[in-house]
Chains A and B, each alone.
Chain A
């Protein structure tokens, strides 16, 4: 009971956090690129778009940051035995994330928000780039930590603890590097999908004001280009991950397809209706050889089945179930891949169609772009649900089971904290969503400020009054 509650709590606070994080990473990078364009080309249009999307970036960042603080302590709160076991190794990337990434991000975002009139345009531009670098570095360090749970390297087990033997092996873990690429590219896709949806809608809504509408049209094309490239690369990096998974975590690969028996030239089911115990699919659409292609890039490659991996792991680690909840892995994998494919379609359609302005008159495209905002969120969440559920029953693959990692905290305390987390997160998420919608509806700032006021224009005293941001 306590274990299940701890799992629900960790899942809830993590999924909530990662709902927001990709927006921060993706939108942060896109806003930095926009501000660079504004600076390089002395273009007030890009500057106004920078402010418009910068506002959305900041609203989202605030909620992302606070939900991230919880995660720094969540391992100790609910997973103290896990923490004691892995701290020698797992703690280091977490500490590095705070020291190298969070300080950078939080300090420079403060300078970016408040420094617009205090810093030279060049330095101000640097602050958003350093903020963006901070968000990307933080992803790297936390993925190093997560990758070690998926595929432990550079360690030995001594006295009931995993002890670090090679820090570079931990930082250079193949699982971490591909997962980092996949996550960052997915984040750029997320930011771009959001920007695309908002821009297409605004370009149409503001069609009465040609100058505003064309700015959003510009942003929409900018976002579509980023999205298409980023989603395609996300798929490529995901495929690399699948191949690593095939050797590192064969059970996860098998359960992604609910493939019960080892097969060569394994097919991939797009959709299955019926029982999932592998015996009686009522209705299936199958693509021949696709699973083998995903797993090891060969037409007739062998993919291990759940039954065989289960038997092998039971022989290696002792009796017990080594099979994750297969319907969760099966469907989360399909939703992730499906959402990704839909995004490739949307990005290509947007980029092709928007060669001409009047394409915005296409109602179906506008709807697709708006609903397309939901796709990356679906893919991000299901992707992580797949990764984490697929590792079960392990918390550290092959070394420690999830059931062994939990804290001896009274169940009532966990019930209380879980209920409160849900309640408080519901409130701040509603506020965040309401503010994002308002920000999307908001007029473009009408003050072009890339050009500072000419000297002597304002009285010295008034010029020194700092403007209030909050």
Chain B
């Protein structure tokens, strides 16, 4: 079935929304996951949470927007994906729930056990989606088994070895990104420890990602008419790998200037963008690619898309409001650009 340029544009736009989501929430997941390893005391812990405090909620809205945009532009993508991957998505939603409240709840009662509870919620609530998103997108890239009723293999059908490997890869990339963000936003020993964590997780991420690229390339997928040459996603994935390696090297070099942390963080952003580009260009022209040849490529863009008028309306709205959102979200990062420092009174350490 042919697909229109507008449908293709919306496929790309949804890819961009997921990219925005995983780039932004990726680092705040990473900060939450790495903080138990780099925080030495409650104050460190608070510095970690406050580093992402003003922005995490706005970052998460990228996910909701991706969900809503998928619903509007590709109703069949939305309906088959989320009902098919019912328990997988449910698990992520539960994690996001306990994580979301943990930020606000943690500091409201001055009690060690209370704080400990919400620390665990914050950690687990970030760890689970950081793994699941990577696993899910690995599933999409390698294709899932589709019957005439769509995807019906449940949770177990989604947990292939390669998907688990993909999940660990995304986790390590997010921890790299989060550690670098933390190194950028803090000072002193906490910043140094975060940089150390960046080096370690970056090395892990590079190895896992290289393995994942080889694995996915070797596994292959039944060809689909109109698909992009395999070289396109492959090149993008290698760019992503190169960016992850650069970020790790920049973090590890003992120069220690803020500029390098900044450059390293930018490199992880480039890496995640390239990897998401690889993911969506590999999925194209399917929104839910199939691993079995009998499914004829899976759920394709043209079959899943809304009618032209809906897409036109959505395009006009997106063209007006997306730039506005980008401006004020960007402004938030500018307002909170300062590093967080341990207050001299409490720590007894000078700035």
Cα A88 to Cα B70 in complex, Å, equals 10
- Tell whether B61 is near chain A: CB-to-CB under 8 Å: yes
| A413 with B154: CB separation less than 8 A | yes
Q: Can you list 26 contacts pairing A with B, beta carbon distance less than 8 Å? A: A62-B101, A65-B100, A67-B97, A69-B63, A72-B67, A75-B79, A76-B71, A77-B90, A83-B71, A83-B79, A87-B72, A91-B72, A91-B73, A92-B317, A94-B71, A103-B65, A103-B328, A110-B332, A111-B335, A118-B335, A165-B309, A413-B86, A414-B86, A420-B94, A424-B94, A470-B50
Write out the residue numbers on chain B whose beta carbons fall within 8 Å of the beta carbon of A165: 309
| B108 with A438: CB separation less than 8 A | yes
Q: Which residue in B54, B61, B82, B106 is a CB contact (below 8 Å) of A76?
A: B82
Interface residues in A70-124 by Cβ distance below 8 A to B read 70, 72-73, 75-78, 80-92, 94-100, 102-104, 106-111, 113-115, 118-119
Interface residues in A417-469 by Cβ distance below 8 A to B read 417, 420-421, 424, 428, 431-432, 435, 438-439, 461-462, 464-466, 468-469
Closest A residue to B71 by CB, please name it.
A91
Beyond contacts A62-B104, A88-B307: 5 other A-B pairs, Cβ-Cβ < 8 A, are: A69-B100, A98-B65, A103-B58, A110-B53, A407-B83
- Given A99-B321, A407-B83 in contact, is the A470-B68 Cβ separation under 8 Å? no
Cα A420 to Cα B100 in complex, Å, equals 17
| A95 with B154: CB separation less than 8 A | no
- Given A67-B97, A73-B89, A461-B351 in contact, is the A78-B72 Cβ separation under 8 Å? no
| A98 with B68: CB separation less than 8 A | yes
| A78 with B83: CB separation less than 8 A | yes
Write out the residue numbers on chain B whose beta carbons fall within 8 Å of the beta carbon of A462: 344
Write out the residue numbers on chain A whose beta carbons fall within 8 Å of the beta carbon of B98: 424, 428
Write out the residue numbers on chain A whose beta carbons fall within 8 Å of the beta carbon of B93: 69-70, 73
Q: Which residue in B53, B54, B83, B97 is a CB contact (below 8 Å) of A77?
A: B83
Most chain B C-beta atoms within 10 Å of own C-beta, residue among A58, A67, A99, A438:
A99
Write out the residue numbers on chain B whose beta carbons fall within 8 Å of the beta carbon of A111: 54, 332, 335
- Tell whether B310 is near chain A: CB-to-CB under 8 Å: yes
Closest B residue to A406 by CB, please name it.
B83
- Tell whether A278 is near chain B: CB-to-CB under 8 Å: no
- Tell whether B60 is near chain A: CB-to-CB under 8 Å: yes
Top 9 nearest A-B pairs (CB, nearest first) are A87-B75, A76-B82, A91-B72, A91-B71, A62-B104, A95-B68, A80-B83, A66-B100, A80-B79
Closest B residue to A114 by CB, please name it.
B54
Q: How far is the CB of A189 from chain B (nearest CB, A)?
A: 25
Number of A-B contacts (CB under 8 A): 249
| B322 with A99: CB separation less than 8 A | yes
Cα A91 to Cα B79 in complex, Å, equals 11
Write out the residue numbers on chain B whose beta carbons fall within 8 Å of the beta carbon of A317: none
| B341 with A77: CB separation less than 8 A | no
Closest B residue to A87 by CB, please name it.
B75
- Given A91-B78, A468-B50 in contact, is the A164-B310 Cβ separation under 8 Å? yes
Q: How far is the CB of B76 from chain A (nearest CB, A)?
A: 5
| B68 with A99: CB separation less than 8 A | yes
Cα A113 to Cα B335 in complex, Å, equals 13
Chain A interface helix/strand/loop/mixed:
helix
| B49 with A470: CB separation less than 8 A | yes
Q: How far is the CB of A439 from chain B (nearest CB, A)?
A: 8
Cα A38 to Cα B178 in complex, Å, equals 39
- Tell whether B34 is near chain A: CB-to-CB under 8 Å: no
Closest B residue to A95 by CB, please name it.
B68
Write out the residue numbers on chain B whose beta carbons fall within 8 Å of the beta carbon of A90: 71
Write out the residue numbers on chain A whose beta carbons fall within 8 Å of the beta carbon of B295: none
Cα A165 to Cα B322 in complex, Å, equals 24
Cα A95 to Cα B105 in complex, Å, equals 29
- Given A73-B82, A407-B83 in contact, is the A95-B306 Cβ separation under 8 Å? no
- Given A83-B78, A91-B71, A164-B313 in contact, is the A465-B351 Cβ separation under 8 Å? yes
Q: How far is the CB of B47 from chain A (nearest CB, A)?
A: 7
Cα A75 to Cα B80 in complex, Å, equals 11
Most chain A C-beta atoms within 10 Å of own C-beta, residue among B47, B54, B79, B154:
B79
Size bracket of the A interface: 35 or more
| B60 with A106: CB separation less than 8 A | yes
Closest B residue to A164 by CB, please name it.
B310
Q: How far is the CB of A440 from chain B (nearest CB, A)?
A: 13
- Tell whether A241 is near chain B: CB-to-CB under 8 Å: no
Chain B interface helix/strand/loop/mixed:
helix
Cα A122 to Cα B82 in complex, Å, equals 43
| A98 with B64: CB separation less than 8 A | yes
| B321 with A409: CB separation less than 8 A | no
- Tell whether A364 is near chain B: CB-to-CB under 8 Å: no
Count residues of chain B with CB under 8 A from any CB of chain A.
73
| A435 with B76: CB separation less than 8 A | no
| B75 with A83: CB separation less than 8 A | yes
- Tell whether A163 is near chain B: CB-to-CB under 8 Å: yes
| A77 with B57: CB separation less than 8 A | no
- Tell whether A132 is near chain B: CB-to-CB under 8 Å: no
Q: Which residue in B49, B60, B106 is a CB contact (below 8 Å) of A69?
A: B60
Q: Which residue in A67, A167, A469 is a CB contact (below 8 Å) of B53?
A: A469
Write out the residue numbers on chain B whose beta carbons fall within 8 Å of the beta carbon of A70: 93, 97
Write out the residue numbers on chain B whose beta carbons fall within 8 Å of the beta carbon of A81: 79
| B105 with A92: CB separation less than 8 A | no
Write out the residue numbers on chain A whose beta carbons fall within 8 Å of the beta carbon of B341: 465-466
| B90 with A417: CB separation less than 8 A | yes
Most chain B C-beta atoms within 10 Å of own C-beta, residue among A69, A72, A95:
A95
- Tell whether A248 is near chain B: CB-to-CB under 8 Å: no
Interface residues in A224-268 by Cβ distance below 8 A to B read none
Q: How far is the CB of B343 from chain A (nearest CB, A)?
A: 6
| B72 with A95: CB separation less than 8 A | yes
- Tell whether A50 is near chain B: CB-to-CB under 8 Å: no
| B87 with A417: CB separation less than 8 A | yes
Cα A416 to Cα B87 in complex, Å, equals 9
| B53 with A107: CB separation less than 8 A | no
Q: How far is the CB of A372 from chain B (nearest CB, A)?
A: 25
| B86 with A84: CB separation less than 8 A | no
| A410 with B68: CB separation less than 8 A | no
Q: How far is the CB of A35 from chain B (nearest CB, A)?
A: 18
- Tell whether A59 is near chain B: CB-to-CB under 8 Å: yes
Cα A90 to Cα B152 in complex, Å, equals 25
Q: How far is the CB of B258 from chain A (nearest CB, A)?
A: 16
Q: How far is the CB of A287 from chain B (nearest CB, A)?
A: 44
| A66 with B101: CB separation less than 8 A | yes
| B65 with A114: CB separation less than 8 A | no
Write out the residue numbers on chain B whose beta carbons fall within 8 Å of the beta carbon of A421: 94
| B58 with A110: CB separation less than 8 A | yes
Write out the residue numbers on chain B whose beta carbons fall within 8 Å of the beta carbon of A466: 50, 336, 338, 340-341
- Tell whether B81 is near chain A: CB-to-CB under 8 Å: yes
Write out the residue numbers on chain A whose beta carbons fall within 8 Å of the beta carbon of B70: 91
- Tell whether B107 is near chain A: CB-to-CB under 8 Å: yes
Cα A9 to Cα B218 in complex, Å, equals 42
Q: How far is the CB of B323 from chain A (nearest CB, A)?
A: 11
| B325 with A99: CB separation less than 8 A | yes
- Tell whether A387 is near chain B: CB-to-CB under 8 Å: no
| A77 with B75: CB separation less than 8 A | no
Q: How far is the CB of A243 from chain B (nearest CB, A)?
A: 30
Q: How far is the CB of B153 from chain A (nearest CB, A)?
A: 11
Cα A424 to Cα B83 in complex, Å, equals 21
